[in-house]
Structure 1
Amino acid sequence: MRDVDLGRCVAVLMKRTTEGRTGILGGRFDPIHLGHLGTAAVARRALARDRVLLLPSRVSPHRGAPAHATDRDRLALVTLAASSDAHLSPCDLELESDAPSYTSVTLERLRDQGHRRTQLFFIVGADAFAEIATWHHYPAMLDNAHFVVVSRPGYPASDLVETLPDLRARMRPLTGGAARLSVDADTAPVVFLIDAVTPDVSSTDIRARVARGEPLDGLVPANVAAYITHHRLYTPQCGD
């Protein structure tokens, strides 16, 4: 299997996305799986055909242990996962720095690249957003972009209206996964809630399956599974 070409510069990706809405889905992606891609698809439909950037994090501030796969391998997996969808683009913005991958800092860097805050839509699962009060520079960071919160198995996005009462005034529940985000160009950032069914997959389970020699059918794209196998990621020989 040939190595993935990782030569595309983040500056090129930024240039291609400064016009129109830009969705941003960040995560450790260790590895990226169909749950991540399902969340991206729901949000992209809501963004009405605009691009979604997939940002692997370098150092997660919410997890003490380092990633199991290298930065290069995780970016390669993201690149492969995005290759079959013209609306998805891998982005190495958070891999350029050794500092923790804070969402607040990433949004500020994207704005420095020419994005207006009303063009940025940060996509996040409802399970992660439930812990938003622990995020760096909360609540000020919510003013740097719109947030698109998508249900995850066991975590309906609509429940956040009750569990996060301090943010209720910002929230806009959307009916159905195909709902479209409707905001004016000068609308202050808000939090969109989308209840939708996404695949019940976890990176932890995938790594455990690989270590046991089990197939990954229905959990990751075929090219991602092939890369994991070819490069022997997440196997006991790698020290996982």
Structure 2
Amino acid sequence: MGAEIDKKKIAVIGGSFNPVTNAHVWMAEAVLSAFPGMHQVWMMPAHRHPFEKHRGYSSHRSRMIRLVETARIRYFGYEIDHELSGVTYMTFCRLLNDPDYRDPFVFYMVIGGDCVVDFDTKWQHAEELAAMVPFIIVPRQGYDLSGYRGLLSRPPHVLLRHAHIPNISATEVRARIASGASIREMVPAEVASYIRRHRLYEERNGGTAGNPPDRFPPPAA
């Protein structure tokens, strides 16, 4: 028991982060505010995505997360560095048995309320995953979880009932850029500057110019 107490608590937010938005950052801040004992939140971009809809942006996705790092919000390139499938169950099977991470950390998984609705039926190995790692659920506008009685409705899983996250999607950000519309207040200023500098998500070039390195050292403990 003492060894478990000594471990640092880490909350992991997974996703495409194509690009990282203010909603991602506010989600991380909400978790840190709700759990004073949480050491850090790590943002883990997916290595792969069904239909390869994010192919060509891996380097940029990693770099943009790096731009929003703070002392307690960190980039975590585990899926990309190990070229994993993107199936959350498989990623956590490996992570929780990796001595570099298993021994010093206790992990939590952070997801939005929109993902909870279909968790039991659409997530691969949902029952095993729910038993493997505690989930922290952040509400999303338009998704009422008051009647949810599924796998994540009971402890150790937790719903942050009073968190207020802006209804911003990366899909909408990309669409607005492609149409020439403003993305002000949708992404952090540093990310907006990066997107403009590399001309990402513009229809005329597909946003694939200038790929910087996408492999970084693990977050500092």
Give the TM bin, normalised by the shorter chain.
0.7 to 0.9
CA RMSD, 1 decimal: 2.2
What's the % identity of the aligned pairs? Answer: 26
Q: Does 1:152 align with 2:140?
A: yes
Q: Does 1:230 align with 2:197?
A: yes
Aligned twin of 2:71:
86
SS of structure 2 residue aligned to 1:64: helix
Q: For the structure 1 residues 165 and 132, does the alpha-carbon distance in structure 2 shift closer, same or farther, using more than 3 Å as the test?
A: closer
Amino acid paired to 2:170: S
Task: List structure 1 runs of 4+ shifted beyond 3 angstroms.
Answer: 164-168
Q: Does 1:26 align with 2:11?
A: no
Determine the C-alpha separation between the residues in 2 that align with 1:67 and 1:89: 21
Deviates most, 44-53 or 138-147: 44-53
Aligned twin of 1:212:
179
CA deviations on 1:26-51 (whole Å, 9 max, x unpaired) are 00001110111111111122221520
The correspondence for 1:132, drawn from 103, 116, 119, is 119
Aligned twin of 1:191:
157
Determine the C-alpha separation between the residues in 2 that align with 1:239 and 1:103: 28
Aligned twin of 1:54:
43
Aligned twin of 1:164:
149
TM-score (norm 1): 0.75
Aligned twin of 2:213:
none
Whether contact under 8 Å (2:21, 2:188) holds in the other structure is: yes
1:109 deviation in Å?
2.5
Structure 1 runs not aligned, ≥5 long:
1-17, 172-189
The correspondence for 1:109, drawn from 91, 94, 99, is 94
SS of structure 2 residue aligned to 1:43: helix
Determine the C-alpha separation between the residues in 1 that align with 2:7 and 2:67: 25
Whether contact under 8 Å (1:24, 1:123) holds in the other structure is: yes
Amino acid paired to 2:201: Y
Amino acid paired to 1:132: F
1:145 deviation in Å?
1.3
Aligned twin of 1:120:
107
Determine the C-alpha separation between the residues in 2 that align with 1:235 and 1:145: 38
Whether contact under 8 Å (1:117, 1:144) holds in the other structure is: no
Amino acid paired to 1:150: V
Whether contact under 8 Å (2:135, 2:157) holds in the other structure is: yes
- Structure number with the bigger relative contact order (C-alpha 8 A, sep ≥ 6) is 2
Determine the C-alpha separation between the residues in 1 that align with 2:32 and 2:56: 27
Structure 2 runs not aligned, ≥5 long:
1-5, 208-221
Determine the C-alpha separation between the residues in 1 that align with 2:152 and 2:168: 28
Amino acid paired to 1:56: P
1:166 deviation in Å?
5.1
